[in-house]
Amino acid sequence: MGERAAAGGGKWVDVPPERLARWLENFATRHGAYTEEGLTLIAADGASATLQPPPGAGPATTVAELISEARAPRRLGLLLARKGAVAVGVADGPELIASKVDTHYVQGRTAAGGWSQQRFARRRDNQAKAAAADGAGIVGRILLPEVRVIAALVTGGDRTAVDAILAAPQLAPLAALRTGRLLDVPEPRHAVLVTAVAAARAVPILIREPA
């Protein structure tokens, strides 16, 4: 279960759909009995927890509806990218059923001496464009055939790298399915992609403790 600071105070936790019922029980144990206001829980000690539907889930107005939607089978597309490394996959529920991982060399920042800054910048820009083109090709091969059954496209890594890949015109149908959150992942590898499936399916919950 992931945890990260929230803008404006509080923290986000990511809870797998299968563990939501237990998480709610633990929330009540820690903070006392709670009331529900839509998707927000207000506990006896003043703590609150606001649940958000996970990517691709249908709309929900109550916690019970959200739990049902979060557990419902759905297929997700995943795109992770960082500086020439890309990992693309299709998840059916918790299972990764198709994937491709690739790397494309993109030079790092210039060291002291060596080529002029302009020459270095042009070379690096060309490498980055080639990496984005290769990444777009992989995304097209893995995800475009699934576009009609994918409920959402979950992305992660470096936003600039992801944006460059999805800027390819042929990927417009997939870009339209992209969710707002960018997963914070290390350099894309197969193991990272497998872990990202759990993060993509999880229910984000914003927790604010009592003052």
Q: What pLDDT is recorded for position 118? A: 61
What is the domain count for the chain?
2
Q: What pLDDT is recorded for position 133? A: 78
Q: What pLDDT is recorded for position 131? A: 66
Are residues 86 and 176 both part of a single domain?
Answer: yes
Residue range of the domain that includes 91: 75-201
Are residues 108 and 171 both part of a single domain?
Answer: yes
Residue with tokens 């083109």: 133
Are residues 52 and 112 both part of a single domain?
Answer: no
Q: What pLDDT is recorded for position 181? A: 92
Are residues 95 and 108 both part of a single domain?
Answer: yes
Are residues 133 and 186 both part of a single domain?
Answer: yes
Q: What pLDDT is recorded for position 117? A: 62
Are residues 151 and 67 both part of a single domain?
Answer: no
| pTM to 2 decimal places | 0.86
Are residues 106 and 144 both part of a single domain?
Answer: yes
Q: What pLDDT is recorded for position 45? A: 96
Q: What pLDDT is recorded for position 5? A: 92
CA-based diameter of the chain, in Å?
Answer: 66
Query: Residue 82 burial by CB count (10 A; 0-12/13-18/19+): exposed, middle or buried?
Result: buried
Identify the sign of the CA torsion 144, 147, 151, 152. positive
Are residues 176 and 112 both part of a single domain?
Answer: yes
Are residues 69 and 87 both part of a single domain?
Answer: no
Are residues 68 and 85 both part of a single domain?
Answer: no
135 CB neighbour count, 10 Å cutoff: 27
16: phi then psi, degrees, rounded to nearest 5: -60, 145
CATH of the domain at 110: 3.30.420.60
Q: What pLDDT is recorded for position 1? A: 58
Residues in Cβ contact with 58 at an 8 Å cutoff, skipping those fewer than 6 apart: 69, 72
CA 148 from chain centre, in angstroms, equals 20
Instruction: Give percent of the chain above pLDDT 70.
Output: 86
Q: What is the DSSP string of 107-143?
A: --PPPSSSS-HHHHHHHHHHHHHHHHHHHHHHHHHHH
Are residues 124 and 69 both part of a single domain?
Answer: no
Residues of the chain with pLDDT below 50 are 105-107, 110-112
User: What percent of the chain is helix, strand and coil (3-state, nearest 5)?
Assistant: 40, 30, 30
Residues in Cβ contact with 45 at an 8 Å cutoff, skipping those fewer than 6 apart: 31, 32, 210
Are residues 38 and 96 both part of a single domain?
Answer: no
